[in-house]
Chain A
Amino acid sequence: MGINPIEYRAWKGDRSAQKARMYVIARSVFRHKMKATGVLVVLALGFLFLHAFQLIFSVIGPHEALEAQTMFEYMGSGNTMAIFAILLAAVTTSDLISEDLAGRSFVLYFSRAVKARDYLAGKGMASVLVMSIMCAIPPVAVAVAAMATQSGDDYAHSAGVLARTVVAGALITVFFVPYGLMMSSFTKRKSYAAVGTFMSFFVLLIVAEIFAEFDPAWSIISPAEALSFSTGWIFGVDMPDYVNWPALACFMVAFICAPAAIVYLRLKRQVVGG
């Protein structure tokens, strides 16, 4: 301790930020994610394969207005956006709960006045922010760029498509986060959580394809297809007749809400009264 040790001093300040705990957790996670190699690599690849060409094409390609069909083909048609979204969700969410389980850091949070709800919301909010960097912000930027360079003057129509782009981007951003958090809460190894998230996506894809052989309506149990149909519905483009919309709505709600409820209940078991 040395010859003249530093004495303990009481802290006289106010703890005025009790309600900001969720944001504190979100900010910390977001900062760490923005330094994580895996996240940066997926973001870079995503920009390159998903957005860069689309942005160039939207700016230099001749267009009278921003079209819903164009934005749907960019965001919802095909599985590319969904695959990158699940990849990013896997690398972003895999360690959020699993590392706290492995390092028993839960106790650092829950020995303070942190509710399980705040903890989960903080982690979820950070994941959504990271996801939005690839799934929501670039499509909106592309849409704005297309609007800015359109040759026609029907800006009301373009603004409508822009609004739909925001909604579709928000859906893709949020879609895989609860599922990734749930997988992260099942294991203490982030690699298992990441692989589990990604593989379950493919398992559902394969199962959907097998069943779709008998009835194409089964294709909605593939997260990528479900996301594609939902995006198509948001943009108001024609969708195949076999899509069972109530079933699709149930699947979408279940895919987002059920994992969120499961991970919340698992966290609640860690703490009393939180």
Chain B
Amino acid sequence: MTEVGRGVSETAARRLSAKDVTVRFGPVVALDGFTADIPEGVIGLLGPNGAGKSTFIKASLGLVPLDRGSISVGGLDSQTQSLRIRDDIGYMPEHDCLIPSMSSVELVSYMGQVSGMGQRDAMQRCHEVLDFVGIGEERYRLVRSYSTGMKQKVKLAQAIVHDPALLFLDEPTSGMDPNGREEMLDLVRRIGATGKTIIVSSHILQEVERVCGHAVIISEGRLVREGKMGALMAGEEGLQNLTVRGDAKALDAFSRALGAACSISKRTDEGVGQTSFSVRGCGDGRRIFALAREHGVQVRSYTPDRMSLEDVFLQAFQGGGAGGD
């Protein structure tokens, strides 16, 4: 580990924090006082197109100068110590960036060597990571002949060839078909399971919801919400969602009895004899099941209130909710 060496220690490299970061491209403000403390794990960086996600990643790598504020990666400053930071980071850009005149074996091993690996080590590791991402015999073909899905996999392979502690994946499933997306998310999940910190930038909420443990929502260059996925998606405390089915008369009687036993904050008739309630103060549900039996209705589901990431996202943009932590 000479000169730049492994810039950041294995664990420290996994933490990233931004303080009041402002980045301007001429009149366009890409990041506007962005502040966030990003923990270890698989982190989703969410936001609509043009929100500033890619700019934040590039600023963290020291590829974009900051107009104000600072970004720290494992305690190192992204502007003054960017070489040391970049030495232990893997970056999968959103856009096409592969060298078309190389095969994926050449490209990935070359990038390993550019990362400081010896020639033999780089070649051995290159085959390992290409096996991992699922590039088979095609690895000897020129990259220019690859499909979008294969290019995405090679982009991931070059990002992990030197086994970095921190990975930035910018829209990793961009341009992929559903099967390809599934494979890519599986790869991300499996890399994340080894304890690496992975920052997945995406505007596809379902993807982030499935692989990330923590989310940072960004809009117009500002932090909108952040927190653990479970906390962000948890609904109102104590609120339960109940769905019952029965004939109209029985449902009305059940509704009256339920109103007397607990507090109903919302009732929705879904048709075909099905009604859902948002209720509070019903305890563990035994009273609900007793009431249902009593009034001849069938309980279809009784679950704690939980939002989808899409709800969280929409709520965040409407200015609602608090931090997830």
Is B86 touching A111 in the complex (CB atoms < 8 A)? yes
- In angstroms, how far is the closest chain B Cβ from the Cβ of A158? 41
Given A107-B93, A271-B63, A273-B81, decide whether A18 and B4 contact each other with a Cβ distance below 8 A: yes
Q: A-side interface residues toward B, CB under 8 Å?
A: 1, 5-11, 13-21, 24-25, 28, 32, 99-100, 103-105, 107-115, 270-274
CA distance A271 to B63 in the complex (A): 5
- In angstroms, how far is the closest chain A Cβ from the Cβ of B30? 15
* B 27-56 contacts with A by CB, 8 A: none
Given A21-B114, A28-B110, A104-B97, decide whether A273 and B82 contact each other with a Cβ distance below 8 A: yes
Is B63 touching A113 in the complex (CB atoms < 8 A)? no
Is B101 touching A32 in the complex (CB atoms < 8 A)? yes
**Could you list some 11 contacts between A and B, CB below 8 A?**
A1-B183, A15-B6, A18-B4, A18-B5, A32-B102, A104-B93, A107-B91, A111-B91, A113-B116, A271-B62, A272-B64
Is B83 touching A103 in the complex (CB atoms < 8 A)? no
Given A32-B101, A104-B93, A113-B84, decide whether A17 and B113 contact each other with a Cβ distance below 8 A: yes
B61: chain A residues within 8 A (beta carbon) = 110-111
A19: chain B residues within 8 A (beta carbon) = 2-3
CA distance A112 to B115 in the complex (A): 6
> What would 11 more interface pairs be, CB under 8 Å, given A109-B114, A111-B89, A272-B62?
A1-B134, A11-B163, A15-B162, A16-B2, A19-B2, A21-B113, A32-B102, A104-B93, A273-B80, A273-B81, A274-B62
For the complex of A and B, the 9 pairs showing the least CB-CB separation, nearest first, are A15-B116, A11-B163, A273-B82, A111-B91, A18-B116, A113-B87, A24-B113, A272-B62, A113-B4
Query: Which residue of chain B lies nearest to A15 when distances are taken between CB atoms in the complex?
Result: B116
A20: chain B residues within 8 A (beta carbon) = 113, 116
- In angstroms, how far is the closest chain A Cβ from the Cβ of B281? 46
A1: chain B residues within 8 A (beta carbon) = 134, 183, 186-187
Is A99 touching B99 in the complex (CB atoms < 8 A)? yes
Query: Which residue of chain B lies nearest to A2 when distances are taken between CB atoms in the complex?
Result: B134
B3: chain A residues within 8 A (beta carbon) = 18-19
Is A108 touching B111 in the complex (CB atoms < 8 A)? yes
Q: B-side interface residues toward A, CB under 8 Å?
A: 1-7, 61-65, 78-84, 86-87, 89-91, 93, 95-102, 106, 110-111, 113-119, 121, 125, 128, 131-132, 134, 158, 160, 162-163, 183, 186-187, 190-191, 193-194
B87: chain A residues within 8 A (beta carbon) = 18, 112-113
Query: Which residue of chain A lies nearest to B158 when distances are taken between CB atoms in the complex?
Result: A108
CA distance A111 to B169 in the complex (A): 12
B102: chain A residues within 8 A (beta carbon) = 32
- In angstroms, how far is the closest chain A Cβ from the Cβ of B170? 10
B114: chain A residues within 8 A (beta carbon) = 21, 24-25, 108-109, 112, 114
| Residue of A5, A103, A110 touching B98 (CB-CB under 8 A) | A103
Is A10 touching B194 in the complex (CB atoms < 8 A)? yes
- In angstroms, how far is the closest chain A Cβ from the Cβ of B163? 4
CA distance A105 to B91 in the complex (A): 12
CA distance A110 to B82 in the complex (A): 10
- In angstroms, how far is the closest chain B Cβ from the Cβ of A114? 6
B110: chain A residues within 8 A (beta carbon) = 24, 28
- In angstroms, how far is the closest chain B Cβ from the Cβ of A59? 40
B65: chain A residues within 8 A (beta carbon) = 272
CA distance A96 to B87 in the complex (A): 24
